[in-house]
């Protein structure tokens, strides 16, 4: 990174209040924060609503709540995700449904509802092309949906394999390979091996592979997609790597392997980890703290491969459920907490 | 609880005598939370759905099973299900968690666990009780909330 670690500091840009229950998750709209378009993100909560927040002007430190999406989900909204074009927002709820929202003339309209899971949907994610959605549930299954013209959505595959509730689904940033993590302590890798939606589990990363020893809560990839980081109730972050993304794009699957374990940093469940395009890992946990890690370029054999850049104790008054880097040239970090607030941070050096 | 009692003849332990609580005269006093407060929260009620006796009398929760650190805003309750295969272990643990959640300041972190060696599926019960997503799912289920509320109804004995 070449940055002087000692001089790095984390500044609180703004605290956003509005949700009346814990904030579970948030997602930045990828089509904002550049080309003169102010940043925008959505947050979702135990208060059954989704809120959309917009930066007043690009590079401004003020955010305003532009919309409250309510009266659609009847229970906690657990997860939300913008399509790559930024035009559609998907929201997953404990009410067993996933809703698709479209911004029509400044108003968000629910244009489709995805039903099928037996119970609570916990996570939703778009693939890089924006034509596939994945969802996962307490019913232990992972569903893949195809989004067609006119927002018609069709389930193309139901993936069984996890033995407990599935906490998060995440598509690879460049390939149509899906990753899921679970209360069963494993991460599963799913790929379409045949010609027609023949999705199969191609790898399971568990304890025998130096994997996690308790619930895995989140997954994030580095920009090039050859590394993945996972966070867990076992109080560790684990970094995994694979080879030859180019070959894999042609349909060959190369397995992932454990690279290193970051341990001894958080002392309660690590609910969220997110890798910035610049290579900075941010993690948020039930210990109310946010931590930042960078690749340890000077590491020799046996040295830690990542080093702590900064720690922020008491970033929130309660558990931190989600941390997400914004798009744009100078990314901001947003964190969502059980304390009902979202905070926006700037990492300055 | 329509089903019959799983352990109809539990051993009854004597309640310990405790100092009465002195109420602070100044409302602005920041009163640290101590063991006494946790006892009061847990022992004022009968929260074992199997038995209309207090948790203390049944030996489900004892003084030794409660650790509190007000500086760190941390409480850990270690409880002993009334039987090794007590199917109610998760429910008892949930009731303890809900009771503390409703009574303690929100800054508190709470861990609930069954006593080591006291239950056949110890690790599985502990994992469930400390997964806040699963707990929040339970608390959105009106039927389960009714059962918990019933268990948390004071037993004026």
- Confirm if A178 and A190 have CB atoms less than 8 A apart: yes
Which class would CATH give A7-348?
mainly beta
Query: What's phi and psi for A280, nearest 5 deg?
Result: -100, 125
pLDDT digit string, tens, across residues A178-227: 999 999 999 999 999 776 778 999 999 999 999 999 999 999 999 999 99
Residue B108: closest C-alpha in chain A: A318
**Residue A43: burial class (beta carbons within 10 Å; 0-12, 13-18, 19+):** buried
Residue length of chain B: 157
- Mean pLDDT (whole number) for A323-348: 96
The number of beta carbons lying within 10 Å of the beta carbon of residue A45 is 25
Distance of CA B60 to the CA centre of its chain: 9
Q: What is the pTM of this model?
A: 0.90
- Mind telling me how many Å the CA of A338 is from chain B's nearest CA? 9
pLDDT digit string, tens, across residues A222-268: 999 999 999 999 999 999 999 866 656 556 678 999 999 999 999 99
- Confirm if A180 and A140 have CB atoms less than 8 A apart: no
Segments making up each domain of chain A, as ranges? 7-348
- Mind telling me how many Å the CA of A224 is from chain B's nearest CA? 32
Q: Which domains does chain B have, with CATH numbers?
A: 35-150 (3.30.300.130)
For residue A80 the two structure tokens come to 């939300």
Residue A165: closest C-alpha in chain B: B134
Going across the sheet that includes A50-55, the strands are A23-28, A40-45, A50-55, A63-69
Confidence of residue B83 (pLDDT cuts 50, 70, 90): confident
Residues from chain A that touch B106, judged by Cβ atoms under 8 A, are 317-318, 338-339
For residue A68 the two structure tokens come to 């409250």
**Residue A29: burial class (beta carbons within 10 Å; 0-12, 13-18, 19+):** buried
- Beta bridge partners of residue A181, listed in sequence order: A168, A187
Helix (H, G, I), strand (E, B), or coil: what is residue B139?
Answer: helix
Residue B37 has pLDDT above 90, yes or no: no
Q: Do A46 and B136 touch (CB under 8 A)?
A: yes
pLDDT value of position A253: 79
Among B125, B136, B138, B145, the residue to mutate for chain A (most A Cβ within 10 A) = B136
One DSSP character per residue, A300-341 reads: -TTS-SEEEEEEETTSSSS-EEEEEE-SSSS--EEEEETTS-
One DSSP character per residue, B93-128 reads: HHHHHHHHHHHS-TT-EEEEEEPTTSSTTHHHHHHH
Cα–Cα dist A122/A125, whole Å? 11
Cα–Cα dist A324/A216, whole Å? 17
Residue A337 has pLDDT above 80, yes or no: yes
């Amino acid at each position: 990174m070449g940055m002087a670690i000692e001089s790095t500091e984390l500044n609180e840009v703004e605290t956003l209040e509005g949700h009346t229950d814990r904030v579970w998750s948030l997602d930045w709209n990828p089509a904002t924060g550049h080309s003169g378009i102010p940043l925008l993100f959505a947050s979702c909560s135990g208060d059954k609503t989704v809120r959309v927040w917009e930066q007043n002007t690009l590079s401004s430190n003020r955010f305003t709540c532009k919309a409250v999406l309510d009266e659609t989900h009847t229970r906690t909204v657990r997860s939300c995700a913008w399509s790559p074009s930024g035009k559609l927002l998907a929201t997953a709820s404990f009410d067993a449904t996933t809703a698709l929202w479209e911004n029509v003339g400044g108003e968000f309209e629910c244009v489709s509802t995805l039903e099928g899971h037996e119970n609570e949907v916990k996570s939703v994610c778009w693939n890089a092309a924006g034509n596939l959605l994945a969802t996962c549930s307490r019913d232990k299954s992972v569903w893949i949906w195809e989004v067609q013209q006119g927002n018609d959505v069709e389930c193309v595959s139901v993936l069984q394999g996890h033995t407990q509730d599935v906490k998060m689904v995440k598509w690879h940033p460049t390939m149509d390979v899906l990753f899921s993590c679970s209360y069963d302590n494993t991460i599963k890798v799913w790929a379409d091996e045949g010609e027609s939606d023949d999705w199969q589990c191609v790898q399971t990363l568990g304890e025998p592979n130096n994997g996690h020893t308790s619930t895995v809560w989140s997954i994030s990839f580095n920009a090039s997609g050859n590394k993945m980081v996972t966070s867990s109730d076992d109080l560790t972050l684990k970094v995994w790597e694979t080879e030859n993304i180019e070959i894999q794009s042609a349909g060959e699957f190369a397995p992932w392997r454990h690279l290193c374990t970051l341990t001894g940093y958080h002392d309660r469940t690590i609910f969220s980890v997110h890798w910035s395009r610049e290579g900075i890992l941010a993690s948020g946990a039930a210990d109310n703290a946010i931590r930042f890690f960078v690749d340890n370029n000077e590491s020799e054999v046996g040295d830690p491969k990542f080093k702590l850049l900064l720690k922020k104790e008491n970033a929130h008054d309660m558990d931190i459920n989600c941390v997400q880097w914004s798009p744009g040239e100078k990314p901001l970090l947003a964190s969502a907490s059980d304390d009902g607030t979202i905070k926006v941070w700037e990492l300055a050096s | 609880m329509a089903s019959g009692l799983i352990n109809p003849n539990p051993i009854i332990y004597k309640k310990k005598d405790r100092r009465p609580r002195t109420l602070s005269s100044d409302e602005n006093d920041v009163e640290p939370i101590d063991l006494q407060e946790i006892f009061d929260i847990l022992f004022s009620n009968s929260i074992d759905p199997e038995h209309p006796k207090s948790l203390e009398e049944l030996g489900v929760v004892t003084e030794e099973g409660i650790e509190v650190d007000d500086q760190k805003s941390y409480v850990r309750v270690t409880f002993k299900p009334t039987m090794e295969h007590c199917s109610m272990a998760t429910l008892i643990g949930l009731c303890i968690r809900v009771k503390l959640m409703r009574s303690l300041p929100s800054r508190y972190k709470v861990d609930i666990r069954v006593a080591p060696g006291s239950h056949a599926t110890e690790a599985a019960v502990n994992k469930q009780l400390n997964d806040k997503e699963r707990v929040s799912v339970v608390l959105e289920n009106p039927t389960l909330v009714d059962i918990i509320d019933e268990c948390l109804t004071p037993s004026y004995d």
